[in-house]
Structure 1
């Protein structure tokens, strides 16, 4: 048994998710943070660890700037995480810190708002000022398209399968009243393929949103978690990094299978099989990444994702539904808070509080983050019961 398994997620909260919120990122993140604490039945004074990019104004210009949260909350802390303060990496780092006795209760928070609209352009944060990106007019979707093209050439049937995945996930958002794209459907695979081309093989509907909102979660030790209303337990998790994201162009032979080792370590740590996973919240920054994750996480063999989608599916009727809230494709993608949305939805499912999208008998949930174009991947398994 590992110390990570003595830590639970005890509170989660998301703000309203919208194309544009009409408020500052700081106010949205603060709402999410206080909402997660309230959900856990804890107070600000209980926090002694923070992982959260500081959205400004004020504070440090040295991002991420997690320690600025201690000033806003007027709370002295014992631990901060400033390497990747979101999603699965923040979850695992916080759990490791708690299990090592460095702190007891950690707040993870992130999000974005007040995005500058640029008609006919992509969001500014998808064009980092890196040597092989911004000067050449590239953006993050292109990095993923470079590897998706190779996969599509090797497995031509994957193009239609990716479109089917995009349609299925977007239809979950179409049905979810909390999703930014609620009521914007239903979609078919043909609709996805017929949408405007963005970066071959991606059309507009293969790609995630760029929306506004915030998300937060609170983790704490086993002793404290047992007194909260609905703890969700960490069963296992791992990260795998090839190199810095969006600097060097990705090499298909290096990155298409990234996450394979992390997946193996995660399932081994958790002591569960793939068949025991009730629901998967995969990082759907694009439709092909869902196919890729199905393969590298071992739900099907290499090159067989298209067959899996056709025979098993990823929608509500699948034995393992994927991205039940509508995912980044249709629910929301809030920048630094986007990866945390995957854990929030996993928690809702395991608590049996996902309303009309609830998966029956949901005992184990998987949450993933990033992917081939970013050249790193992370994954975690969460459970209704401790390991």
Structure 2
């Protein structure tokens, strides 16, 4: 099927007309219930019947490993009464949500679908810390894991190198956690809705030196959803929608020590360049950003990889309040993964839900002035990355 054509003969832009996010945290519900909760709420938000869905994508990394359940995408179509919609599971480790956005965008742009629902979710908290660590560690290279090098280890090693190489105060990393927890207070669906002070962060237990407990995101259950369609279809439903202006993915080395510079995330750089080029926007045009702060150091590396700051200088913007909610570039108004939580397959979708709500003016007390927003979803320690740029409807 040829791409849907606008009246001027050009391919139509892809719009987002609905969004939802469940409560993140420790949930009693299992994965299919969480997915159905977000999916049905998203359809209600858009005022679209499930029978209108052509494609349904499920971003999920570990339903088999955590719950022994596969085929969640097929079961979800049934539970939402969306049959006979085509469905597919999207797994790109912890960037599965961003990859789902890319897949949903492609399905609309290709003309194969006029209404695509994306639901991302994960159920994780019922496992022990050791069990969860082993499952998540499967993202990395098996040889690295054999030698005890896990994602937290990479984060600690990179943070130590970054602090020493660029003469960065340790407190600057802690201020990322303080900021994101402060933002999370205003997110009713965040896992942690409480502030933490600088002293609490820097004196919390060491996990991977120099990173401490509050430099890491929690283990989380939850789900989030977005509804995509051509812009002309969006206009039949609402005047308040967002448009995918640019979306791109990139892959870096699987073996982290093979990277030329451990403080440069190549997947972030390359996906950002392509998303900027596709959208026609530049870093200075971005009004709000959601970055993948699984570890506090990742917020610095993504700010630099996306050209919001020069290499080794992102920490200065944090010190100056540039990334605060009332700063020049609010970062992680949702609370980020740090406060909002990180249910692997849902995180990238939830990032875009926050950007969508900011662009259509539905972010409540988190609201900032924004016409253009960006989200960056990272898989593993930068092994794969999806960057999405969204803009408010004109």
Distance 1:151 1:122 in 2: 28
Kindly indicate whether the alpha-carbon contact (under 8 Å) linking 2:12 and 2:230 is maintained by their aligned counterparts in 1.
no
Q: CA deviation at 1:335?
A: 1.9
Kindly indicate whether residue 322 of structure 2 is the aligned counterpart of residue 340 of structure 1.
no
Q: Provide the residue aligned with 2:176 in structure 1.
A: 165
Report 1:99-118 matches (<5 A).
99-113=109-123, 115-118=125-128
How far off its partner does 1:30 sit? 0.4
Q: Which residue of structure 2 lines up, in the alignment, with residue 366 of structure 1?
A: 374
Seen in structure 2, the aligned counterparts of structure 1 residues 262 and 112 have a Cα distance that, compared at 3 Å, is closer
**In structure 2, what is the equivalent of residue 292 of structure 1?**
301
| Number of residue pairs matched by the alignment | 377
Shift of 1:6: 0.8
Q: By how many angstroms is 1:221 displaced?
A: 1.4
Deviation at 1:328, TM superposition (A): 0.7
* Residues 1:24 and 2:24 are matched in the alignment: no
In structure 2, runs of 5+ residues without a counterpart are 1-5
Distance 1:123 1:5, change over 3 A: farther
- Identify the range of structure 1 (157-166 vs 349-358) with the bigger mean alpha-carbon deviation: 157-166
Describe the superposition over 1:154-188 as per-residue Cα deviations: whole angstroms up to 9, x where unpaired.
123153321111211112123434322113x2422
Distance 1:122 1:298 in 2: 34
- Which of 163, 179, 185 is equivalent to 1:152? 163
1:239 alignment counterpart = 249
TM (norm. structure 1) is 0.88
Distance 1:367 1:158, change over 3 A: farther
Does residue 36 of structure 2 align to residue 48 of structure 1?
no
Aligned equivalent of 2:14, options 7, 21, 45: 7
Cα–Cα, structure 1 residues 344 and 241, in superposed 2: closer, same or farther, change >3 Å?
same
- Distance, in Å, in 1 between the alignment partners of 2:167 and 2:12 is 41
Q: Is the 8 A contact 1:70 1:77 kept in 2?
A: yes
Q: Which residue of 2 aligns with 1:384?
A: 392
Listed one character per residue, the Cα deviations across residues 302-347 of structure 1 (whole Å, up to 9, x for unaligned) are 1111222223432122111111121110112112111111001111
Give the whole-Å Cα distance in 2 for the aligned partners of 1:316 and 1:323: 8
Q: Displacement of 1:201 after TM fit?
A: 2.3
Q: CA deviation at 1:35?
A: 0.7
The DSSP-based 3-state class of the residue aligned with 2:236 is coil
The 5 Å alignment of 1:69-88 reads 69-74=76-81, 75-78=83-86, 80=88, 82-84=90-92, 86-88=96-98
Structure-1 residue corresponding to 2:237: 228
Structure 1 residue aligned with 2:154, among 128, 143, 168? Answer: 143
> What secondary structure is seen at the aligned counterpart in 2 of 1:22?
coil
Q: Distance in 1 between matches of 2:119 and 2:295?
A: 24
Matched residues in 1 for 2:21 and 2:11: separation? 24
Q: Structure 1 residues 204, 342: CA separation in 2 closer, same or farther (over 3 Å shift)? A: same
Tell me how large the CA RMSD over aligned residues is.
Answer: 2.9
**What secondary structure does 1:240 align onto?**
strand
Quickly say closer, same or farther: Cα 1:134–1:4, change in 2 above 3 A. farther
TM-score between both structures, scaled by the size of structure 2: 0.86
1:159-198 aligned within 5 A: 159-183=170-194, 185-188=195-198, 190-198=199-207
Distance 1:340 1:195, change over 3 A: same
How far 1:243 moved relative to its partner? Answer: 3.9
Q: Report deviation, 1:56.
A: 6.2
Aligned partner of residue 69 in structure 1, secondary structure: helix
Comparing 294-303 with 92-101, greater Cα deviation is found at 92-101
Name the residue aligned to 1:326: 335
Cα distance in structure 1, aligned partners of 2:391 and 2:278? 13
